[in-house]
Chains A and B, each alone.
Chain A
Amino acid sequence: MDNALTITNLRIEVAGSGFDIIDDVNLRIAPGEVLGLVGESGSGKTTVGLAVLGHARRGVKLAGGDVMIGDAAMLALGDVALRQARGRLVTYVPQDPSTALNPALRIQKQLIEVLEFHNFGGSDKARQERVVQVMSEVLLPSTPEFLRRYPHQLSGGQQQRVGLAMAFACRPSVIVLDEPTTGLDVSTQAHVLATVRDLCRAHKVAALYVTHDLAVVANLADRVAVMYAGRIVEQGTAAELFFNPSHPYTRHLIAAAPDMSTDREMVGLRGRAPGPGRRPVGCSFAPRCELATADCRAEFPAEREAGPGRLVRCIRPFEIPQSTQHVAVHSSPIAASATHALMVRDVCASYTGHEVVHNVDLHVDRGECLALVGESGSGKTTLSRSIGGLHREWTGEISLGSERLARSARDRSTAQRLRIQYVFQNPYSSLQPRRTVGDSVARPLIIGGVGKTEANRKVGEMLERVALTASYANRFPDQLSGGERQRVAIARALVSRPEVLVCDEVTSALDVLVQASIVELLSELRRDLGLAMLFVTHNLPLVASIADQVAVLADGKLVESGPTEKVLRHPEAEYTKRLIADTPQIAAAVET
């Protein structure tokens, strides 16, 4: 069958410098097929996605190669022809619909204008009908009342469905989806993915699905291409690629992905993918690859067959890096003492009088990790902020050991505050940008009355402990990567040797390999320091690799709690069952 989309020798450069962002990318997608394009942030996957629409962002130059959609050469079209192709022949579903829909226009207008630009349907009446039709295709109401809404009057899931409706409106032959389910709850994500799959099959649309989420790709895509530092290092059918990866990088990605159906621990990988202009002569993965030889560093391996329909850029395909074979080490809590390290009893929390957390009981022992799981709006962050003393509108009892805590951190003693520490979700905003790493990490010590020299020594030790070096103390946050910043935030939380550590979605802003190494670090620190850890997350698979106990929160109520193994394998609450069913898993997808 003819391909709907063929990309050959695509090269994209940093405008002006000639450094390659993307080089030598070759892809093809058949009508009705979904190709998953996987990679870390900065790997160039979005850049490839936009190039399919003949679009390059500011500072980026489409430098060579071909993108053919049917017989349209997207990179050679003039302005007018390109405009006619976009939105009609090839369409785009953006990552974040809340910013990609125009806040000043009703969704009706935003839908119908696509049809108008391309004179689809011929008459206004036909276009109105098409809008109604496409709305029902994406399972949204098409009442005049609904169509008159503005984007901010829709939920995140509805906004993304409007994005899909815009993309499918003109019956395109190729659709590019750029992480369209990031930020959606798993149940919403499951529904949006089902819609994408059904529409692509039904209308024979070729889909390029760009994402960093391997589990989503394993469930959705027919074929997968893995990108690293601007090149495709491996491609093949989803089943084969996940079952038996041939490139060591793919193997690392899979080893790093959290998966609740297997017993293995997540394994991270240090280092960063080299950016444009910093790429080595040889294989760009070589500096991080434990299998690398002198030959790997001599030149970038050419694409070679690694089986039927499989291509790989590695001279030692199918060899297995030792570190991805990590065996699970399950920690058991340190012998239980009479009092729990952290106890939450009958806590209700409200926002301006509106109760969002209802009568929650929890406890965490020394050396134990309790995962607090819930979707957005479940009240998990409100609860953890109440525990940290950052939210003061709550009733009930929160105790640290045998001491009952005051409502607000301000009313707690310095010693109490130092015994319970908090790591925030976003390491890009949780570190004061004008303070050096050393100053930030030393803060809790200085507050605790430790002298300057002593504090500096402890900061140095702590930075080593979180696998940075003491020399990081002199740097500023903007000189660090996301993973490094999160390590600094963890160091700051742990430097005062707290008993309880509250981690609020600490990996959700990070790439999968970085996430794995942060989780590794936290597990290790918990074992070594005997920390009681409250790990707040919406990511169910992550729970399997980090927590001993799980508490599931829905609409502010605790619906289920117990040992991780039991809750994940044999959930009792309907809500938990549904949550697990909606969570995409790699292993499950590969088996079917």
Chain B
Amino acid sequence: MSNNRGVIRFIARRLALGLFTLFVVSLVVFAATQLLPSDPAQAILGRDANAVSVAALRTKLGLNHTAFYQYTHWLKGMLSGNPGDSFNAQIPILSYISDRVVNSLFLLFLASVVSIPMSLWFGAYSARKRDTLFDNVTSNTMLALASLPEFVVGIILVLVFSLRVWHLLPAVSTIDIHKGPWSDMKGMVLPTATLVIGAVPYISRVVRASMIEVLESDYVEMARLKGAPEKVVLWRHALPNALGPVFQVIALNIAYFAAGVIVVEALFNYQGIGGALRDSVRVRDIPVIQFLVMVLAAVYVVTNLAADLATVLVTPRLRTRMR
């Protein structure tokens, strides 16, 4: 069907654009790391290292090549699935960092899986019960939570659930990096909760506003006047039309999680990319920094693409225009 072809062409175009975005990001990241003060070789060997060994290390790390050569070499490596070796650990980046990437992505995944349905439910229910006690209480609570930074929320959670009030959950994450984060689900609760508390207020506010607008629309009134049961009114007539703006906010929030994990990981000593990024910046481990930034950029691009696609799929007016 022509519609499907249109949608496929849309995806292809957006994917190409996404790749282009990543390419631009790679240029910016490379340029930025080149501008970092101090020499990686010096940083690795320490202030007292002699000039000869620093020079040797520079050669070994490939720092004597032109910036253009270094960039194309790095890009080639990224594209062929071998982003190079860590300066600091002297082992391939993937084996050094992949466990941490998995840990962070798992945290991000858990936070999304919990916060999205929760926000949809809170938002939709508040919209239906707008201006009631329930709506007022949730709105104000959400506003209060949204105004607290994650590290404060995290500290409060730790105080309440692990140190002062109850001793239910571990205050720090103790996952075995080789077994994967799912081996210690109890340790996942507080980091996930911290992210969820940061995200739910935003998403649910948008869901509520979008839902209220749709519930006031002529077609929802019309559905009621046609004798539609309230369930059908909500799920068939209202919700699909309210989702468009919600997808965009969800994408923004997932992107925000990707950055938010850095703070949360530090707070709970969670073995993820946040810690790795911090360490790499300290020791000028340029290949690792570059790799991690590219991973974060890829998360942004993919979630935004997914949100645009989802919006198109629930909006026939957009879908049918793609011929």
Contact = CB atoms under 8 A, between A and B. Distances in A.
Interface residues of B, number: 23
Interface of B: 216-219, 221-229, 232, 236-237, 240-241, 314-317, 320
Given A103-B241, A104-B241, A117 B227 contact: yes
A163 B21 CA distance: 46
29 contacts: A50-B225, A55-B224, A83-B228, A84-B227, A85-B227, A86-B225, A86-B226, A86-B227, A87-B225, A87-B226, A87-B227, A94-B218, A96-B218, A99-B217, A99-B219, A100-B219, A102-B237, A102-B241, A103-B317, A104-B240, A105-B236, A113-B236, A114-B227, A117-B226, A118-B227, A150-B316, A152-B316, A152-B320, A153-B320
**Main secondary structure on chain B at its contact with chain A?**
helix
Contacts of A55: 221, 224-225
Nearest to B244: A104
B240 to A, nearest CB: 5
Given A102-B237, A105-B236, A113 B218 contact: no
Interface string A97-128: 00111111100000001100110000000000
Given A104-B241, A105-B236, A150 B317 contact: yes
Interface of A: 50, 53, 55, 57-58, 83-88, 91-92, 94, 96, 99-105, 113-114, 117-118, 150, 152-153, 166
B127 to A, nearest CB: 13
B217 to A, nearest CB: 7
Nearest to B220: A102
Contacts of A85: 227
A130 to B, nearest CB: 15
Contacts of B225: 50, 53, 55, 86-87, 91-92
Contacts of B241: 102-104
B316 A113 contact: no
A80 to B, nearest CB: 9
Contacts of A104: 240-241, 314-316
A134 to B, nearest CB: 14
B14 to A, nearest CB: 22
Contacts of B236: 105, 113
A58 B216 CA distance: 9
Given A50-B225, A114-B227, 18 more contacts: A53-B225, A55-B225, A83-B227, A85-B227, A86-B225, A87-B228, A92-B225, A96-B218, A100-B218, A102-B237, A103-B316, A104-B315, A105-B237, A114-B226, A117-B229, A152-B316, A152-B317, A153-B320
Contacts of A152: 316-317, 320
Contact of B228 (A50, A100, A113): A113
Q: Please provide the 4 A-B residue pairs with the shortest distance between their CB atoms, ordered closest to farther.
A: A87-B227, A87-B226, A99-B218, A86-B227
A94 B232 CA distance: 20
Given A83-B227, A99-B217, A103-B241, A92 B222 contact: yes
Contacts of A100: 218-219, 221-222
Contacts of B317: 103, 150, 152
Nearest to B321: A152
Given A86-B224, A150-B317, A152-B316, A101 B229 contact: no
B239 to A, nearest CB: 9
A88 B221 CA distance: 16
A88 B226 CA distance: 8
Nearest to B223: A102
A153 B317 CA distance: 8
B222 A94 contact: yes
Given A102-B241, A104-B316, A166 B219 contact: no
Contacts of A102: 219, 222-223, 237, 241
Contacts of A50: 225
Contacts of A118: 227
A96 B232 CA distance: 22
A557 to B, nearest CB: 29
B219 A113 contact: no
Contacts of A96: 218
B227 A103 contact: no
A104 B240 CA distance: 7
